[in-house]
Amino acid sequence: MTNKQLTKEESSHLLTGSLITAFMLFIPYAFYVYNYVPDVETYETRWFTFTSNYYDSVRYSVWAFLSKLIPTFLLLIWFTTCKHWWYYSIAIPISVYIFQLISVLNDDLIFSDEFEFIYSLPITIIIIAILLLVRSKIGVFLKAKDIKKQMDEQMNKPFAKKGDFK
């Protein structure tokens, strides 16, 4: 007896997975948002005014910001979903990108890419601590789902063969 309708839990997982997939598909296209920003030194909207001090225009400023933000998001997603033993090594580029992102936001810096790796060590330690906390919470959830799936497979194995019911 199979039920072809999705349960509430299965449909919520499907919706969550679909939203995450749509978000991940949108991330690379978000990089091109800078093309819609005007090539001026000061950009005024109804909500805010942005003046580019270090860069020649607001467009270049947004381009620099997005070129650091988007890889950071992708690396964070990779770190939190990676099941391999080497996932700690992903934290190093995450910390470097975050430090570069801070440098982009700080328009007063003249040489923003000169010493990021050296200064990123304390930031790396803090980021690793935060990411490990998030990873442990997600890891427990993923392990529980794997165990539930294995148990369901083991329980359904005797009923999988036809002819067991007489």
| 19-29 per-position pLDDT tens digit | 888 888 888 88
CB 52 within 8 A of CB 106: no
**Residue bearing the bigger pLDDT, 34 or 87:** 34
- Give the start-end residues of each E strand in the chain: 42-44, 49-51
CA 36, CA 50: separation in Å to the nearest integer? 15
- Of all residues in the chain, what percent carry a pLDDT higher than 70? 81
pTM: 0.61
Out of 12-26, 115-129, 131-145, least confident range: 115-129
Confidence class for position 115, pLDDT limits 50, 70, 90: low
50 Cβ partners below 8 Å, 6+ apart? 42, 43, 44, 58, 61
